[in-house]
Amino acid sequence: MPSLSVDLSGCTDLPAGKIANVVTYLEMHARPPTRFVERPDLRLERIERPDPAQYRRLFRRIGDDWLWFGRLAADDEALVRLLTAPGHGLHYCRNEAGDAVGLLELDFSHPSDVELAYFGLVPEAIGGGAGRWLMNQAIDTAWGRAGTTRFWVHTCTADSPQALGFYMSSGFTPYKRAIEIEDDPRLTGLLPRDVAPRVPLIEG
């Protein structure tokens, strides 16, 4: 894979077809005070046997606007293997009608060092405290396990502009930044060309 020399004191040109994001890593080392929100209309369901088509639909409803593509290249078998790997916890947030409106994935593969791997809501579920409710479930699940000493997450500039502030208000503290350069998933066919119009397509 070709490398790219990054100018640490200015701008670096990217090849056409590439996108770049600044990634911020955040962590907490103890359970934070609970910011309680009551949402009796929501429930969290642990998914033991995920249906790959259903998972992809939810993943895309949540993530298309933010250029989520990390799960989309895997075929059904590989996706199910990833989602059911030892230490991986997949949960759906469901509304009163039983519809999946949120996604929560936790990675316990390093038992003391828990990653918030994916977290999000479908657009119509955003607001009214649903995100706070779902984060409370994530924090309770992570810190409810004996041996957890760190809970961490990363977000990037392709995510919702509210994401970083939300994580910080939830008790996470930033500790590292990185630059992530990827092929634009709209040009590789993983996502439709018309999603996330705020990030212009630049083709070669």
Q: What is the mean pLDDT of each run of 10 residues along the chain (204 residues)?
A: 78 92 97 91 97 98 96 97 96 97 97 96 94 97 95 96 96 97 96 95 88
In this predicted structure, what is the pLDDT of residue 121? 98
> Residue 1: what pLDDT?
59
Task: State the pLDDT at residue 9.
Answer: 87
pLDDT at 204: 74
17 torsion bin: left (phi>0), alpha (psi -120 to 50), beta (else): left
Structure confidence at residue 127 (pLDDT): 87
Whole-prediction pTM: 0.94
For the chain, list the domains and their CATH numbers. 18-188 (3.40.630.30)
Q: In the structure, how many helices (H) and strands (E) does the chain have?
A: 5, 7
